[in-house]
Amino acid sequence: MEVKIEMKNKLLTLVIPVLTVFLFTGISSATPLEDITHHISNDAETSLNISNADDMILITNAGSARYSNTTTEDAIQTVMETVPIKYSKIFQMNQPDHDPTFTFAVKNSKGYYARKYTVLQSGAVLKTPVVYIGLDMTENQFQQAKANLGYDVLSLLSAWNAGAPSDLLKVAAWTGNVSPGLIGAYSASKQFLANYPLTSNATSYHVIVSTGGGDDDVPMFFMDSTPLKWVTVGSDTFYNFKSAYTDDSHENIYIRWDSLSRTGVMFYWTLSDMTYNGGETLQGLIKNAQCIGMLATNPSALYKVLKATNIDYQTFKTLWDTGIDSEYISSIPVTPIEWTSTVSVIPREEYSAMYASGINAVMVANRALQAAGFEPLDSDDLLITSAGYSETQGISAGAIDGIISATGIKFKNIYSLKRGT
């Protein structure tokens, strides 16, 4: 349908997506969200022909969004009990002020398709048509997908079918969407981690980022939570993360600090020209896909090194006090550091091994519980884990899938520790 709106003496023609508004029988604002989500999941399974958990993902803000002034983690549990989907295939968006949304996407013999459901506070559900989301979309198909799903969700789905690593999707979902800046920062941070890993509790990461640009959220996931959250030298305390305003919103400083030697490595970088943002357009999605492809073939081309050097305590202190001050940074003398730009940034994905490790962890725990006179783990117990974030052995969310399969532990009872390193 078309709606004409008069604004500043001009007529704008807006294409409004055709959304189906439906009320399941007996559903109202008093109906638990789990009941609504059960119907949604059944509808998605039928309309998208969901049959293989490996060929689907769910993008949802459940967990951060609220319904009838209550939290919404149980809605995700309902989806997991209704549709064959794994914990590792669920990507949560941080949208506490939005109505709960559930976007199911599948890959089948015809390509990639998605459908989005929005649960209003009244209990009504907005359901989009099933839309095509393949990378070979026409402009018309792109406009339809964007209007129905929103560009943020569409960018995630497009990155998924471009082969983006699941940890990149995890970061992008929580921070908003996929952009060349985010992909470039993913590459730079992964190469810094590979070149300068933490070697003891005396070493820690410290990040100064410029506000905006799509690249400032990435190190918070991969570098913020470390064995040492801060460094205290005398009366000075340096925390893991600091944000600063600069003329170039893509500038970043990554530091690995050794509190014993009181020396560190500074890596000052910005995005390369190859990561220009194509905007919320079809060309923007294509650009994202190109950048994702370069993660495997030439990751160092996505960022530009401005300065890399060893630093002493006084330099560290001044950097932390002044932020990204290009004039000061240019005055820092350069002591060459070792740097390998060809190191892979694609994390290992050994799902079957991780899944088996999760099951084995449950077996070990149950033997210990039995020896102490307790019952084995079940669905009402609690799991506190760094799996899903830790990448010391590759992407680890599959271990949680194994634990869930062996215990039935509920989604709301899984507490994640953000410890990527």
pLDDT tens sequence across 5-18: 333 333 322 333 44
CATH superfamily of 14-161: Dihydrodipicolinate Reductase; domain 2 (3.30.360.10)
Instruction: Give the model's pLDDT for residue 6.
Output: 35
Q: How far apart are CA 349 and CA 357, in angstroms?
A: 14
Q: Which helix (H) or strand (E) segment is 327 a member of? A: helix 326-331
Instruction: Give the model's pLDDT for residue 17.
Output: 44
Instruction: Give the model's pLDDT for residue 245.
Output: 76
Entry pTM: 0.86
Instruction: Give the model's pLDDT for residue 395.
Output: 82
Helices 166-175 and 180-195 cross at an angle (nearest 10°) of 130
Q: Where are the domains of the chain?
A: 14-161, 180-331, 351-416
Instruction: Give the model's pLDDT for residue 389.
Output: 81
Tokens coding 404: 């869930």
Instruction: Give the model's pLDDT for residue 27.
Output: 53
Place of tokens 């952009």: 179
Q: Does domain 180-331 have CATH number 2.160.20?
A: no
Instruction: Give the model's pLDDT for residue 198.
Output: 87
Please give the sequence-ordered ranges of beta strands (E in DSSP) within 136-294, or none if there are none: 203-210, 230-233, 236-239, 241-244, 252-258, 263-271
Instruction: Give the model's pLDDT for residue 233.
Output: 67
What is the distance of C-alpha 346 from the center of its chain?
15
Positions of the chain with pLDDT lower than 50, given as ranges: 1-18, 22-23, 25-26, 227-228
What is the distance of C-alpha 378 from the center of its chain?
29
Residue partners of 84: CB distance under 8 A and separation at least 6: 50, 51, 52, 53, 56
Within this chain, domains 14-161 and 180-331 share the same CATH topology: no
Instruction: Give the model's pLDDT for residue 259.
Output: 87
